[in-house]
Amino acid sequence: MIRARWRNRRGPALQSRHLGLRDRRPDWTMHRLKLLRPYASRALAGLACALALSSSSCTETPATLGPSPLRRLSNNEYLRSLEALFPNVHPALPTLPEDNTVAGFDNQAESQQPTDVRVARFEAIATAYASALTEDAAAVRALTGCDSWDSPARAEACARSFIENVGGRVFRRPLSAGETDRLALRFRAWEAAVDFEAAVRLTLSAMLQARQFIYRPELAPTGPDAPAVVAVAPYALASRLSLLLWQRGPDEALLEAARSGQLATAEQVREQARRMLSDERAKAGWWAFHRQWLGLDRMRADEHVARTAEVDPQWSDRSASAALAESRRFIENTLFESGSFRELLESPRAWVDAETARLYGVPAPSEPDGVSEVTLPADQRGGILTRIAFLAAHSHRGATSPPIRGNAVFVRLFCELPNSPPPNVDLTPPMQSPEQGPQTNRALFAARTAPASCRGCHYALDGIGFGFERYNAAGIFQSLDHGLPIDARGELHRTDRDGAFDGALELSRTLSRSRTVARCLVRQWVRFATARAPHESEHALIETLTDRFAAHANERELLLDLVSAPMFRYRPTEVSR
């Protein structure tokens, strides 16, 4: 196993770049422009070719690309790949250690250091699947495709067929002759020591623990004559596509495209991606990206699961899981149907169960455990930022927090890293004072952040966060706060859409049309697709992708552009460790 270097400890400037966030210092901007000059024009020409924007000079490869690090399957990719390989087997599995996240994402190569616990869990899971798939002779026949193995010649032929066929599916590519020979040698040793069925079980377990399955190796030429940039090999490119769009290994159609040379051009890759995004399996990719980009996983944190009626009277034991499931259905259905980013931030459609219907104040499904599509009140809800999951995830228990909600928008939708608070500042939520009488939460925070030392940051953070004050800490819509009218007016700063707005609905409409948000979304999709922060050499490509996305505001088209781009289809020959 290869240990990725941990680079998140080199000071605030590098940390902001590492997180994929913008560094606001002018000297860094100038430095970045100087870095781009030597190759920006060639990079843009390469992207125009890859996106079929020009009809000439489409044979050159990109001049410079960011690193292509060795990646491990994330927990989600690993478990979904196993389910896809063996859909009719559901063994009891131990819990994998949590993936470490970088910039909110769990698939980043530099945070995937192996641990003894993880290695042990991979072994236990491989054993559980292998045992379930070979529990008797009938199961072995179904797995191997062999009717019998009653002679040495038949056993040898059956073993090699099993290794090549099942191994090819597990490794997401055909096995090399050396790999087949090594596994066949181990198979014969296990067969001699125990029996044929045990050899199948142990060989399958070995395959499921192999680096070829758990990791995503991409071979590239080496040596002094190797080019700086090469096309990603067909089977590796198929895995890039399937693990990005479906969060699992390639299906047979994609493997056949790799086998027959049908992933050689940008348009061929685009066509496969178009097919895959029209398949229900694409919902897994939409959810994996957006739950992490928007920080919805915070709903699983103890702070949110442990909400009680004492601090959030309308919250129940089911609220957290129900709210997360509702946001998942909204994201998956919205983007699978249309891909529209504006619908994601503006649509009042919802797919509710009984619990989320109660929280939203809409009719519950007729079936007790059912889910029904409804339209949420148009004056209360519109888009993902006004859903229970986002609002409750970015809040204290029992009280809203304009700075926390403003910070969530800044970090996740602007790719902007706010300054840290001064030392020794009071970060506890402000409390009502019996001597002053009832006050709104907004008034309490405005008083807390009034000092000049606070206003430098809070005028921007709270300017956004105050727009969410019509939703309490649990995300429930409210018109009064401690009996007082709520002022949900806010103001955007440091964006291309600066200015006043009234409430989260108007804010969401503004953000859905913002180039600042479009650029951030593109950067985060690039990070998710490449398992690393965007490289300086790719900024020109990102700007071109942003131009196109800002024009159509469609995430499906953005993904088609991204997988067609050089940063996805090519890789540098230097291995990043």
Q: Does a structural domain hold residue 80?
A: yes
Q: Are residues 306 and 198 in the same domain?
A: no
Domain boundary among 484, 511, 538: 511
Q: What is the pLDDT of residues 34-68, one digit of tens each?
A: 333 333 444 444 444 544 443 334 445 676 789 99
Looking at the structure, tell me whether residues 205 and 296 fall in a common domain.
Answer: no
CA 399 to chain centre: 29
Q: Comparing 99-113, 321-335, 386-400, which segment has the lowest mean pLDDT?
A: 386-400
Angular region, 346: left φ>0, alpha ψ -120 to 50, beta rest: alpha
Instruction: Give the pLDDT score at 21.
Output: 40
Q: Is residue 120 part of a domain?
A: yes
> Within a domain: residue 28?
no
163 pLDDT above the threshold of 70: yes
- Write the pLDDT tens digit of every residue in 509-540: 999 999 999 999 999 999 999 999 999 989 99
Segment 450-477, tens digit of pLDDT = 887 777 778 889 999 999 999 999 999 9
In a domain, 261, yes or no: no
Mean pLDDT for 171-183 is: 98
pLDDT tier, 270 (very low <50, low <70, confident <90, very high otherwise): very high
Distance CA 527, CA 289 (A): 10
Task: Say how far apart CA 191 and CA 186 lie, in whole Å.
Answer: 9
Looking at the structure, tell me whether residues 350 and 497 fall in a common domain. Answer: yes
Q: What is the structure's pLDDT at 63?
A: 66
Q: Verify that 184 and 302 share a domain, yes or no.
A: no
Segment 473-492, tens digit of pLDDT: 999 999 999 899 999 999 99
Tell me, yes or no, whether 545 lies in a domain.
Answer: no
- 351, part of any domain: yes
Structural domain range at position 489: 286-421+439-511
The answer, yes or no, to whether residue 33 has pLDDT greater than 50, is no
Which range, 24-33, 36-45, 430-439, 485-494, has the best average confidence (pLDDT)? 485-494
Residue 490 lies in a domain: yes
Domain end call among 511, 544, 564: 511
Residues 89 and 197 in one domain: yes
> Are 290 and 152 contained in the same domain?
no
Say whether both 95 and 208 belong to one domain. Answer: yes
How deeply is 7 buried, as exposed, middle or buried, from its count of CB atoms within 10 A (0-12, 13-18, 19+)? middle
* 342 and 488, same domain (yes or no): yes
Domain total in the chain: 2
Same domain, 210 and 316: no
Rounded Cα gap, residues 110 and 5, in angstroms? 6
Residue 125 falls in which region: left (phi positive, over 0), alpha (psi -120 to 50) or beta: alpha
CA nearest to 431, candidates 457, 461, 403, 401: 401
H, E, C per residue of 49-92: HHCCCCCCCCCCCCCCCCCCECCECCHHHHHHHHHHHCCCCCCC
State the pLDDT at residue 65.
87
Q: Tell me what the mean pLDDT of segment 166-193 comes to.
A: 98
Mean pLDDT of the chain: 88
- Dist. CA 565–CA 473, nearest whole Å: 42
User: At residue 96, does pLDDT exceed 70?
Assistant: yes
Give domain status of residue 537, yes or no. no
Q: What does the pLDDT look like over 300-312, one tens digit per residue?
A: 887 777 787 788 8
6 neighbors 111 (Cβ within 8 angstroms)? yes
Lowest mean pLDDT among 15-19, 220-224, 355-359: 15-19
- 210 and 290 inside one domain: no
